[in-house]
Amino acid sequence: MIPSVCGFSGESGAGKTESAKLILQFLAAVSGQHLWIEQQILEATPILEAFGNAKTVKNDNSSRFGKYIEIYFNNDGIIEGAKIEQYLLEKSRVCQLAADERNYHIFYSILMGMNTEQKKLLSLGTAHEFDYLTMVRYAVLRSAVFDNLDCCELLESKHLSVATKLLEVNPLELKKALTHRSIVIRGENVTTPVSKTQAASSRNALVKGIYDLLFLWIVKKINSVINTPTTKGPGKVCSSIGLLDIFGFENFDSNRYLESLKCLARQTMLVDVGNEDGDSNVPPFFSFEQLCINFANEHLQQFFVKCVFKEEQEEYVQENINWQHMDFIDNQRTLDILAVKPMNIISLIDEESKFPKGTDTTLLSKLNNHHSKSMVYIPPMSSHGTMFGIAHFAGLVHYEAKGFLEKNRDQLSSSIIQVVQTSKNKFLKLIFQSSIGPAQGRSQSQRQILPGSSIKKTDSYKQFSTLSRQFKQSLDSLMKTLRACHPFFIRCIKPNEYKKPLLFDRELCVKQLRYSGMQETIRIRKSGYPIRFTFMEFVQEYKILLRPLPQQVKEENDHLFLTLERDRVLTARATLILKVLRGFKDRKTFLRLKYAARTIQNHWRGYLYRKRYQT
């Protein structure tokens, strides 16, 4: 039996996650057994939302990760288990927030749910007192000059003491790992101080790494409960239904974009050293994570276009059906420049991230050199600009190139990993040991330089897997899974931009319907032949509506064609392609069965009453 998949698509805040939850609840209800496993699957959703959802400008409960839930059924339609796959958690949100946005729900829930004694035990206060909830530093970094090098010093503070206490690591070792870099030169370990920005990046990398590994552990733990072995044996063939709830397409309108440009200009004119480590509120420009999110949406849109338009019309041509080609909006050109053609944007980001001297400026220069003539790539407006644009299927989106490589490298320094591995906290060691292998030991903070070699040619940079490569591989695997399933596409339309109920913005809704291809979809469904059966499948489904059929298959086919209207059915080489509304036929089937049931009931009641009267 071919598995099915329901793909939810739409803008951020359109209701994809809520729709997926409704279908999940429906599947659990129609299963009819109300087993423990069904309840566990439903109860996993709020846990994932607590750790993976956050308030954004466009959505108060925005999913900051993608998930694919595969639900397994036995031959009786009873749920046997499920499996959850997660994609690209936005871990940078833990340490960097845009204006008018919040961190993950779990942080605020913990602070609100704990009593005073519990908070005191963990040295917690209110949300306003914490670094990554209000962007106030937990460890004070200050710039200094040391032997003509840009370096920093980590001052003693209660925040550092609390952090080392909770992590159960040596304070001196943690301070050294954050503020120094180790390089092995000719067998000798050389330690040098790092700048304030580099130290802040190391601190952020540690926090992001802990949260990301914690989230992976939660997903793995949930799967260990709900992913039970499927039943095997005669008559117990399992099928599955997948629910794909991917991140919504993200974009801002032109007015908000212009306001952001003004905000950036004001910040550029002001000397604000607080922005060096990316800790203060920033304008809502799109960065690396949003590029990955929109890249995933481009893949899903192309999958929709291929299933609904390309393959549909190709089948009509192959089956010699008289069909006039129907035009549609194809986003293949955007997908090509992102990840298909040689020197595409994803591969350039991946390549530049592996060069020790690669910067966001050199990356942007390469993007301009390779794609400036493309119709879907918009280069910066000036030679000093750091923003580039991509014409996505849902509209033009501008991305801020600053920070791309740092986010894509996604590497913890070996010195920080060593500090964590010496921790007395068993859970912390567990999540790191299960996710970080020995091959990841080297990164920017520690690498070996041999005689006659240079840092630029070191192999350690070319061996680690970047975030863009991991995401592309996961996305390719997901698309392979989708292509093996029977797809159902669910378009979620956002009614307004104000997150208000019972408010309908006609212009916004029409815009979403147009770029999602709904107009062309309705047209091809109306003009085409969307219902497909083999001859025998059609006979088994609808023979109750016909007179008694001959035994020979060929005679049955002839009988069908004499019965059905010629303008509503076409005979393909191996398929019966219908234009008739299936609901009308199903209604006739129901009426025929209803009449038969009444006849049987009348005869049975008459028999019972006659028997009682005789006795």
Among 108, 95, 103, 111, residue whose Cα is nearest residue 53: 103
Sign of CA dihedral 588, 589, 591, 592: positive
Active site residue 537: no
- How far, in whole angstroms, is CA 253 from its chain's centroid? 22
Is 389 designated active site? no
Alpha-carbon gap, residue 511 to 494, rounded angstroms: 10
Verify whether residue 125 is a known catalytic residue.
no
Catalytic site residue 365? Answer: no
Binding-site residues from annotation for ATP: 10-17
Q: Residues of 395-404 as b/e, b for ≥16 C-beta within 10 angstroms? A: bebbbbbbbb
**Among 9, 45, 53, 62, which one carries the catalytic annotation?**
62
Catalytic residue among 7, 9, 13, 517: 13
Binding residue numbers: 10-17
Query: Following DSSP, what letter does each residue of 552-584 receive, concatenated?
Result: SHHHHHHHHHHHS-GGGEEE-SS-EEE-S-HHH
Q: Provide CB contacts within 8 A for 168, sequence distance 6+.
A: 423, 424, 425, 428
Contact partners, residue 57, CB within 8 Å, separation at least 6: 98, 99, 100, 101, 252, 284
Whether residue 12 lies in the annotated active site: yes
Q: Which two tokens stand for residue 567?
A: 């303008």
For the chain, state the CA radius of gyration: 30
Asked if residues 193 and 149 have their Cβ atoms less than 8 Å apart, the reply is yes
| For the chain, counts of helices (H) and of strands (E) | 24, 18
Distance CA 564, CA 580 (A): 10
Name residue 153's beta-bridge partners.
142
φ, ψ dihedrals at 215, nearest 5°: -65, -40
What does the alpha-carbon distance between residue 63 and residue 10 come to, in Å, rounded to a whole number?
A: 13
**Helices within 392-466 (DSSP H only):** 404-409, 414-421, 426-433, 459-463
- Given the residues 250, 289, 352, 406, select the one marked as catalytic: 250
Q: What does DSSP assign to residue 309?
A: I
Instruction: Determine whether 13 is an active site residue.
Output: yes
Q: How far apart are CA 87 and CA 300, in angstroms?
A: 14
Please say if 63 is a catalytic residue. yes
Choose the catalytic residue: 81, 248, 403, 528.
248
Separation CA 212–CA 266 (nearest Å) = 34
Q: Crossing angle for the helix pair 414-421 and 196-226, nearest 10 degrees?
A: 50
Among residues 19, 53, 56, 59, the one annotated as catalytic is: 59
Measured distance CA(150)–CA(143) in Å, rounded: 7
Give kind and range of the element (H or E) at residue 525: helix 518-527
Is 9 one of the annotated active-site residues of the chain?
Answer: no
Active site residues: 12-13, 17, 59, 62-63, 248, 250
